[in-house]
Chains A and B, each alone.
Chain A
Amino acid sequence: MDISYVHGLIGGALIGVAAVILFWFNGRIMGVSGITSRILAKPDRDYWWRLAFVFGLMLGGLFAQIKFPVKVVISASGWELIASGFLVGVGTVIGSGCTSGHGICGMARFSKRSIVATIVFMSAGVLTVFFKKMLGI
């Protein structure tokens, strides 16, 4: 088996641990898009833990970069990044979730909405990659 599959399984399990921590202690679902987008709304009593979660995500990247730099390849152009970022932002707010909220937490509690959303966004992603390659953009 390819070693990156093993890393995938271990890293995935850690993501699960992160979801269980937030649920067990804070009683919350670890939906990264929801947590992030609500920071932009009028601050309420959940403001600080949401900010702390996002801060943890970013600081993890910073630590990793200092201790054992990772090589990240981003092939998308500037315009692609702007368009895709905007679509991800709008889509996750309208569709109430992303890969973590629907794909992991929602599916783990067998939510019908999350299972449907995950199938839909994965299919849309597959078709996007397919057409992008076909059109050579």
Chain B
Amino acid sequence: MNIIMAFMSGLTMSAGLIISGMINPQKVIGFLDVFGHFDPTLAFVMAGALGVTAIGYRLLANSKPILCDSFDLPKKNQIDAPLIGGAVLFGIGWGLAGFCPAPALVGVGIGLPKAIIFVIAMLIGMFLARKFLNSK
């Protein structure tokens, strides 16, 4: 059952990414281009997503998940060097091509060769970074 709901969640998210236009890297680069041809669409996407998620999380705060015993939330709350350094690297990569993980995965489903190249490089990066973190 939790496999089906995760699938539904992924499917819903891909619909959201397609309708919002966020699978188009050009829209993302447009948002980041604040000193040039600024395209504010991503701000509307964030507003819609944050609004629904914040309300949903708030309403569920005092309950339990339907399919398991408790909510699994990140335990860390310190601002540390890996958080900042990782976010810098991610931001540079994001600005370079306009892709972040979710839209790129939808792009693979669409069958875009460039999205496939991006995702393969991303998986290699993820694999090596996990290996590096585990070795420490």
Which residues of A are interface residues toward B (Cβ below 8 A)? Answer: 2, 4-30, 32-33, 36-37, 40-41, 48-50, 52-62, 64-65, 70-76, 78, 80-96, 98-100, 102-109, 111-113, 116-118, 120-130, 132-133
B108 to chain A, nearest CB (A): 5
Interface residues, chain B, with chain A CB atoms under 8 Å away: 1-27, 29, 32-36, 40-54, 56-57, 60, 64-74, 76-79, 82-102, 104-112, 114-115, 117-130, 133
Q: Would B117 and A124 count as touching, CB distance under 8 A? A: no
Task: Choose one: B4, B65, B97; the contact of A27 (CB below 8 Å).
Answer: B65
Residues of chain A contacted by B57 (CB below 8 angstroms): 20, 23, 105, 108-109
User: How far, in angstroms, from A123 to B121 measured CA to CA in the complex?
Assistant: 23
**Inter-chain pairs besides A19-B52, A133-B36, 14 sampled, C-beta below 8 Å:** A4-B27, A9-B47, A12-B50, A13-B52, A16-B53, A32-B105, A49-B3, A61-B109, A74-B26, A76-B96, A102-B87, A116-B84, A126-B35, A132-B96
Residues of A within 8 A of B17 (CB): 11, 15, 60
B89 adjacent to A11 (CB under 8 Å): no
- Could you jot down 15 A-B contacts, CB within 8 Å? A6-B44, A13-B49, A14-B12, A15-B45, A24-B66, A26-B6, A52-B7, A53-B9, A60-B109, A61-B23, A73-B25, A99-B100, A116-B87, A120-B91, A124-B95
CA A53 to CA B5, docked complex, whole Å: 8
Residues of chain B within 8 A of A94, CB atoms compared: 82, 85-86, 89, 129, 133
Q: Is B67 touching A26 in the complex (CB atoms < 8 A)? A: yes
- Residue contact A22 to B18, C-beta cutoff 8 Å: no
Q: Is the CB of B114 within 8 A of A76?
A: yes
Tell me whether A40 and B3 are in contact (CB under 8 A).
no
A57 touches B48 (CB 8 A): no
A83 and B93 form a contact (CB under 8 A): yes
Q: Determine the distance from Cα of A47 to Cα of B76 in the docked complex, in whole angstroms.
A: 23
Given contacts A26-B67, A124-B90, contact A5 B40 (CB under 8 A): yes
Once the chains are docked, how many angstroms separate the CA of A40 from the CA of B124? 10
Beta-carbon contact of A58 and B105 below 8 Å: yes
Q: Which 6 A-B pairs have the closest CB atoms?
A: A95-B86, A89-B125, A56-B10, A11-B20, A124-B91, A60-B14
